[in-house]
Amino acid sequence: MTLRQLDFTVHGTPVPAGSKSAYRSGNRIVVVDTAHKRMKAWRPSIEAAAVDALDGGPLLEGPLGLTAVFVLARPKGHYGKRGLLPSARHYPNVKPDATKLVRGLEDVLTGIVWQDDSQIVSQYVAKRYTEGSARTYVRVWQLPPQGEDVGGLIYTDILASVGEGVPAAGRPSPTVSSSCA
């Protein structure tokens, strides 16, 4: 069995999946889906990039791994007259949260890349800032039947290719220090 891997980039600002809530109205249960309005604009970009990556091939079968790196444009408030402010956040630890971003991506890829998102058994997600255009790097791979997951290596590989968050060859590793008073 040949294991397949898909790599593609979705250009544009990532959009989170909405929330679903249910309540009772008399004898009926009403489900409210607060799908993000901008998802309608981002969905075709995801679909086109995934279809291109599949190149006419069939849906991926069996257990899958997914890496998604959401690269967000820095807010204008991060910049001053001389460029990036020292006080600007290094990581986008603000909304939208990574789980809603990846859920939105998974929902769109269902029926295009895989039959059901329950096939994803290993998942690696990151959010990063860029001074360029927003985009999302996606890698989906079939796991070997023996259960050997190499996803951690794939995760560090894709983050290194983005150039953020993981030391790459030739770049010094970050130093972690702690002190006790």
11 Cβ contact partners less than 8 Å away, ≥ 6 residues apart = 45, 49, 133, 134, 135
d(C-alpha 156, C-alpha 135), whole Å: 18
Dihedral sign for Cα 161, 133, 136, 96, please: positive
Query: pLDDT tens-digit profile of 26-65?
Result: 788 766 655 556 677 889 999 999 999 999 999 999 999 9
Report the top-level CATH class of 5-18+31-162.
Answer: alpha beta
- As a whole number, mean pLDDT of residues 114-122 equals 94
- As a whole number, mean pLDDT of residues 64-76 equals 92
pTM of the model: 0.75
Please report, for the chain, the start and end positions of each structural domain, with discontinuous segments joined by +.
5-18+31-162
Query: pLDDT tens-digit profile of 141-178?
Result: 998 876 555 555 555 555 555 555 433 333 333 333 33
